[in-house]
Structure 1
Amino acid sequence: MADALTCSAKGCGAEATSGLQWNNPKIHTPDRRKVWMACPEHTASLQQFLDARGFWRETVPAAQAEAR
């Protein structure tokens, strides 16, 4: 059985259900994607953090999240 994905929020160890795909346009090429995993409790706050900085690109189900 595969290991459960855990939330990227500081101090959270809950199982992740979403993958927040992002990049920093100042240092990453447009097609590059980094991923933060998020549990239901932290999905909105992590997305808001990334979006406020212009980094958020897409939120997908955890099973579909992949860095590229």
Structure 2
Amino acid sequence: MIAFKELLLRAKRGEEKAFEELFAIFEPLVRKCSIVNGHVDEDLRQILLMEFVQAVRKFRI
């Protein structure tokens, strides 16, 4: 597995594969945070995914 920092740098440059790998790492957390009343709220999940993408793009290394 590629080092996390390198993966993050690639994602910041816009590499789709890097975003996919990062999402695979954080998907369980996104899913957990999307649960409302015992069920995944897909609208909330989508919002969290958009925020995830923005956070990666804005992250300063």
Question: TM above 0.5, one fold?
Answer: no
Which one has the largest radius of gyration? 2
Relative to the length of structure 1, the TM-score reads 0.27
User: Which protein has the bigger strand share?
Assistant: 1
Relative to the length of structure 2, the TM-score reads 0.29
